[in-house]
């Protein structure tokens, strides 16, 4: 496979992407904390209140960790952050970090554990963990937020000779009729009234920074599929 260039198409992307990723992820985390605070305030039974309080403590801990990581991301040199990543492990970590949000919405989260392996094709890529993790997080979180209580979000992964394939399947209402499979600019959102910032960031990270592909489709009888393809790599060269 020919060597590929791992720089974005436009200088503006390089300058703005870390700050946009940092802002978007912190905003999402704070929204979860705000929801938990409201649940605690409205809870009467002590056991219910304690359960929400435990979830709040967990979210505050993850928020602090995310703030530290994203602060480094916003100020550091992205070019120095490339490594060989196990996509199965990264996907499992992302899903585990969203279990509380899924439980709050009454949504089951089904995903492969971090011991996923395949005899012929390990799911390894050359990637930037601090960019790729928020991108995967955004896709899975969107699926959870669009799913009704009692439904299930599934994360699926397989590796072929040249690619690692990830699918996130939900049982929500599906994509708006005017939505295109590719989000190439701000303003194209899967959420009514949304600005499409998260989706745009995700597409930028996956396609321009990791030479991958992101596509979104409706599924029958209802729901949507987010399909991600990333090139398999074993060296940093």
Over residues 87-143, the pLDDT tens digits come to: 999 999 999 888 888 988 899 999 987 666 555 788 999 998 888 988 999 899 999
Q: Which three-class secondary structure state does DSSP give residue 81?
A: coil
With a cut of 70, say whether residue 171 has pLDDT above it: yes
Tell me how many helices (H) and strands (E) the chain has.
6, 7
With a cut of 70, say whether residue 224 has pLDDT above it: yes
DSSP per residue, 172-196 = SS---TT--SS--STT--SSTT---
Q: Identify the band that residue 9 occupies on the pLDDT scale cut at 50, 70 and 90.
A: very low
- How high is the pLDDT of residue 200? 82
Higher-confidence position of 84 and 103: 84
Q: Identify the band that residue 41 occupies on the pLDDT scale cut at 50, 70 and 90.
A: low
pTM over 0.75: no
* Of the options 3.30.56.10, 3.40.190.10, 2.30.40.10, 3.30.565.10, the CATH number for the domain spanning 11-231: 3.30.565.10
- How high is the pLDDT of residue 160? 92
- Type and span of the H or E element at 103: helix 99-104
């Amino acid at each position: 496979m020919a060597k590929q260039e791992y720089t974005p198409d436009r200088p503006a992307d390089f300058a703005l992407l870390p700050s946009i990723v940092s802002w978007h992820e912190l905003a999402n985390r704070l929204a979860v904390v705000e929801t938990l605070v409201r649940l605690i305030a409205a809870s009467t039974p002590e056991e219910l209140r304690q359960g929400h309080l435990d979830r709040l403590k967990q979210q505050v801990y993850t928020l602090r960790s995310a703030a530290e990581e994203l602060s480094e991301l916003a100020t550091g040199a992205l070019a120095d952050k490339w490594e060989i990543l196990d996509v199965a492990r990264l996907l499992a970590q992302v899903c585990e970090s969203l279990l509380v949000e899924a439980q709050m919405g009454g949504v089951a989260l089904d995903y492969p554990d971090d011991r996923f392996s395949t005899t012929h094709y390990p799911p390894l890529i050359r990637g930037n963990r601090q960019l790729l993790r928020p991108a995967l997080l955004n896709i899975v979180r969107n699926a959870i937020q669009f799913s009704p209580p009692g439904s299930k979000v599934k994360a699926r992964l397989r590796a072929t000779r040249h690619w690692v394939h990830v699918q996130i399947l939900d049982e929500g209402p599906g994509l708006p009729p005017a939505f295109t499979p590719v989000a190439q600019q701000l303003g194209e959102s899967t959420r009514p009234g949304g600005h499409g910032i998260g989706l745009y960031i995700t597409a930028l990270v996956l396609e321009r920074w990791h030479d991958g592909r992101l596509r979104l489709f409706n599924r029958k009888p209802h729901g949507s599929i987010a399909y991600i393809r990333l090139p398999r790599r074993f060296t940093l060269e």
